[in-house]
A and B are shown apart, each in its own frame.
Chain A
């Protein structure tokens, strides 16, 4: 190109010199045959101009389709040129031979230049994306033309039917021309119109205009001139009509793009997975006329990558994947390349569009997905601006749909969590113990502090039977948390109330409960419980401790507080034979003023901010201090002390305090 640019001024100068020489000769020696000089002038100017400014023409303006449009522009200029200068020549008086010859000469040189331009462009179209078929068609066309022209010279009478044959020979050429190929694929009517226009143009150029313009003065000129005119009119038909059709098609194409995009959006609305989204994107991109292959990959931190591709051989897929993986996954990246060979000479000479975008995830702000997309053209440099825009729009929409999918999943997750919370709330309400009965001769109070306001393992119930002569105080703690613990607590509650119906002794009650729980509990689950039974008729209390903390007792007979810690084991894990051997109920006389306090480990394990546990000793001291107060006062005072100890923080677990005094 450096050499070309150096030659350019010389070519321009030569072109200008030839033009001046041609005009000078034509004017001073009218009708002398100097057209080649004029043609050389045009070629010099064009070649020089191209060498100087050609590289500034964007590559997309040099695509086959654009070249055909330039060809059409050239044909338009040529026709205007012929008509304008021809008419001016006719307007000049025949007496003014020199001026008339000059004007006609300018017109003729224009025709020659235009024809040369068409031939060059046609040749370029053949050689661009070269196929041997195209070259043979071109050679065949000119060979046929040469034969027919020779026949016409030898046998002038054959011209009328041989000439159309020449131009019919060009049809295969039309077929192999990239853009015409598309027209042929699309509408038969348009093709017929095109061919018809070419034939009419040929007829006019060959038979009508030459006699009108009174040309054909020399034998060579008599052959060349009609040929040149015919070429002009052929191109008039071939190259003017397609751009006109093109104008119609642009609006149709825009409508088709709009339809494609609308259909794409409608399909994406119904997708439920990232793979579906990518498949629809791939299929839609595959429907764009210029697209030859699609590769899409969604890289995600949680699962394997999702890869979708369309019309691509595996080796090219892998190459495109590697190209995209070389880019930073967290940064947006868009590149449009006229040839993949710019990236790697081993890749095919096809245009490529690359797009990569990082998608933020709601579930973890530090994590992201990456959508990588590569679209390859069907033919070299085969993307037009509208294709590029459409492809990038679809890529952007795909990102939006993927983000929407992720947002939807997040919302569903939040909805599930909310439903679970609602379920827990409803379950908690369902698990609240029945309202305690109004008891004679007994002052009691239950303080129940839930840890997380949803569901805990603690449960208490007060049950009386035998006309209120026997009262059971039940306090239990189910291992575990959440829905599973709630479910098991609900089962335990059902078993409890079924057993109460049978009015069993404390020992039998516990063993029966153990049997039931062992059947229904999971192996690693268990229930820790305390049963305090008052038998008012016998004036007796019984304590069964099954894995729960000890029971504090203030004995009015000794005027002392004591810790009752009968032997016991958690329920639901081992056979009732073993449980029966371990559990030893503690019995005693019930005297007026007897005070008991049962509690769950939520109180003893309440922790201060420094990490110290409240412990059983502190609890026992408080019980001893407050034993003269009412059941409610004792419970609330102790709770206040525990809250002071934890400095207002929650207990860390469910806490239940059950204070019972026999008043006699």
Chain B
């Protein structure tokens, strides 16, 4: 999976594009990078993951999203997913994550 930091975010926002598959192998990489970015940009309040090119989400990937959400919430950071493909959206919806975080269709 590729993670690209997008430059179109505001001062308090962080935008990342995810490409490929978010599974047990790649999920720790996402967590590590998100944690580093949050530490390197104090005052951030919104992280948006652009998932147009995210083709697969495994349970481990969903677990990492939940962990990020749980870790960032006390710091006042909201995690959201946008442009999510139907297959990935179905998985998020099945797991009930669409009710915990902002998830929008592609």
Q: Is the CB of A582 within 8 A of B96?
A: yes
Across the interface, do B100 and A523 meet the contact criterion of CB distance under 8 Å? no
Residues from chain B with a CB closer than 8 A to the CB of A570 are: 62, 66, 95-97
Q: Which residue of A481, A526, A601 has the most chain B CB atoms within 10 A of its CB atom?
A: A526
- Tell me which residues across on chain A come within 8 A of B95, comparing CB atoms: 526, 528, 547, 569-570
- Chain A residue at minimum C-beta to C-beta distance from B91: A601
Those 7 A-B pairs whose CB atoms lie nearest each other, nearest first: A569-B96, A524-B63, A479-B59, A524-B67, A523-B67, A547-B95, A573-B66
Instruction: Compute how far the CA of A154 lies from the CA of B100 in the bound complex, rounded to whole angstroms.
Output: 124
The answer to whether A547 and B60 touch across the interface, beta carbons within 8 angstroms, is no
Q: How far is the CB of B96 from chain A (nearest CB, A)?
A: 3
Q: Give Cα A528–Cα B70 distance, bound, in whole angstroms.
A: 18
Question: Do A549 and B62 have beta carbons less than 8 Å apart?
Answer: no
Q: Which bracket fits the contact residues of A?
A: 20 to 34
- B:75-106 near A, CB below 8 Å: 94-97, 99-100
Q: Output the least CB separation between B25 and chain A (Å).
A: 12
Instruction: Name A367-392 residues within 8 Å CB distance of B.
Output: none
Name which residue of chain B comes closest to A573, CB basis. B66
Q: Confirm or deny: A63 has a beta carbon within 8 angstroms of a beta carbon on chain B.
A: no
Q: How far is the CA of A569 from the CA of B100 in the complex (A)?
A: 9
Q: Flag whether A546 is at the interface (Cβ < 8 A).
A: yes
Which positions 57-74 of chain B face chain A at CB distance < 8 Å? 59-60, 62-64, 66-67, 70-71
A523 to B97, CA, bound (A): 15
Contact code string A478-494 (vs B, CB < 8 Å = 1, else 0): 01110000000000000
CB of A574 closer than 8 Å to a CB of B: yes
Interface membership of chain A positions 570-582, coded 1 if the CB is closer than 8 angstroms to chain B and 0 otherwise: 1001100010001
**What's the dominant secondary structure at chain B's contact region?**
helix
| Residue contact B70 to A479, C-beta cutoff 8 Å | no
Residue A454 CB within 8 A of the other chain: no
A434 to B62, CA, bound (A): 30
Q: Given A528-B59, A549-B94, decide whether A569 and B67 contact each other with a Cβ distance below 8 A.
A: no
CB distance from B72 to the nearest CB of A (A): 12
Contacts of B70 in A (CB 8 A): 523, 573-574
Q: Which residues of B contact A548 (CB under 8 A)?
A: 94
Q: Are B60 and A523 touching (Cβ within 8 A)?
A: no
Main secondary structure of the interface of A (DSSP, over half): loop
Chain B residues with Cβ under 8 A from A574's Cβ? Answer: 66, 70, 100
Contacts of B59 in A (CB 8 A): 457, 477, 479-480, 526, 528
Q: Looking at the assembled complex, report how far the CB atom of B67 sits from the nearest CB atom of chain A, in whole angstroms.
A: 4
Q: Which residues of the other chain, A, contact B100 by a CB distance below 8 angstroms?
A: 569, 574, 578, 582
Q: How far is the CA of A568 from the CA of B93 in the complex (A)?
A: 9
Instruction: Tell me if A525 counts as interface (CB < 8 A to partner B).
Output: yes
Given contacts A479-B62, A526-B62, A526-B63, 15 further A-B contacts (CB under 8 A): A457-B59, A479-B63, A480-B24, A523-B67, A524-B31, A524-B63, A524-B64, A524-B67, A547-B95, A568-B96, A569-B96, A569-B97, A569-B100, A574-B66, A582-B100
Residues of the A chain whose Cβ atoms lie less than 8 Å from the Cβ of B64: 524
Q: How far is the CB of B61 from chain A (nearest CB, A)?
A: 10
Bound-state Cα–Cα, A549 to B96, Å: 11
Instruction: Judge if A567 is at the interface, Cβ distance under 8 Å.
Output: yes
CB distance from A547 to the nearest CB of B (A): 4
Q: Which residues of A contact B94 (CB under 8 A)?
A: 528, 547-549, 601
Q: A479-B63, A480-B59, A573-B66 are in contact. Are A523 and B71 (CB under 8 A)?
A: yes
A sample of 9 cross-chain residue pairs with beta-carbon separation below 8 angstroms, ordered by A number, consists of A479-B59, A524-B27, A524-B63, A526-B95, A547-B96, A549-B94, A567-B99, A570-B96, A574-B66
Q: Whole-angstrom distance between the alpha carbons of A528 and B97 in the complex?
A: 12
For A481, the chain B residues whose CB sits under 8 A away are: 24
Bound-complex Cα distance A255 to B70 (A): 74
Question: In this complex, which of B60, B63, B100 has the most chain A Cβ atoms within 10 angstroms of its Cβ?
Answer: B63
Known contacts A523-B70, A523-B71, A574-B70, A546 near B63 by CB under 8 Å: no
In this complex, what residue of B is CB-closest to A574?
B100
Interface residues of A in 544-563 (CB under 8 A from B): 546-549
Docked pose: A477 CA to B95 CA in angstroms: 11
Q: Are A582 and B99 in contact (CB under 8 A)?
A: yes
Please indicate which of the listed interface residues B27, B60, B66, B96 has the most CB atoms of chain A within 10 Å of its own CB.
B96
* Mask: chain A, 532-549; 1 = CB below 8 Å from B; 0 = not: 000000000000001111
For B24, what are the chain A residues with a Cβ–Cβ distance below 8 Å?
A: 480-481
